[in-house]
Amino acid sequence: MSSLRNIFGKPTFVQGAGDIYPITLKHYDEFMDLAHIIMLKKSQFPFKESDLAPYIDNPSALTTLDYIALNAVFEQSDELLVGLKRIFELVTRDRVDFKLSDTFNQFSVAYFIGEANSNIIHSKNYEKVRKTILEQNLISEPKEYANPLVAEWAAKAAEAKAANSKINIDIESMISSLQIAMGQEAIFFENFTIYQLYSAFARLGKFKEFDTELHLIGHSDKIGQVHFAEVTELMSDPSKEAFVDSSAINNLSKQL
């Protein structure tokens, strides 16, 4: 049985960090401007484990949050740390402060939540917090491929799919569609979560498909295949359709 947490906009509890809330549409633009930070992976930083070995014991044990702390020290910039702080303020709906530790052989950062600092986001629970935020807000991570050639194929497949798409739907068009369908002002949706908006828009589409089928009764034998309450998959995996079959890979390889 599926959970109703997302449709009701309820928070998800993460051990040590407390309740993590989904982003509402009134904070959508600010959140999306910062979302790239929580999608960072260790492979994207300009330093590697071999670069860190002379300065840090067991660099392979470092987490992505440790890398963000290291980047702040090496680049002498707290831009990423401050960006994370704001993300955590949005998702905890509380005050957040952070402390950067750059003592010998130890580079880390911790985010203290609330006046009492009773909850802390640190390198041990950051990954769980990060994944929770992505899932709540329907953000799919690009798949990482060990083989650079496969990674290039996947990128080309994604570009080809986007280029061949005949329909362009963004979050504003979803809001305006629901606005017309429900007879509401746009401001009505500002407290919707991203999940709630996508779910309502997908359901509206199912109702339209169902209505179309009803009008085709007696004119087509291809009816009865759509139900307005059919389960909709809101979280899609962008890598699933990257390689459909071997011929698709061969066609792409000719373009490389």
* Sequential pLDDT tens for the chain (256 residues): 468 899 899 999 999 999 999 999 999 999 999 999 999 999 899 888 888 888 788 888 899 999 999 999 888 899 999 999 999 999 999 999 999 886 655 678 999 999 888 899 999 999 999 999 999 999 988 666 555 565 555 555 555 555 565 678 889 999 999 998 899 999 999 999 999 999 888 888 776 666 666 655 655 555 556 655 565 666 655 445 444 444 444 444 444 4
Instruction: List the strands of the sheet with 96-101, edge to edge.
Output: 96-101, 108-113, 119-121
**Which DSSP string do the residues of 200-214 spell out, in sequence order?**
HHHHHHHHHHHHHHH
What is the reported pTM? 0.78
> CB within 8 A of 94, min separation 6: which ones?
113, 114
Is residue 17 within 8 A of residue 120, CB to CB? The reply is yes
Alpha helices in 122-245 (DSSP H): 126-136, 148-164, 171-182, 194-215
Tokens of 128: 């769980």
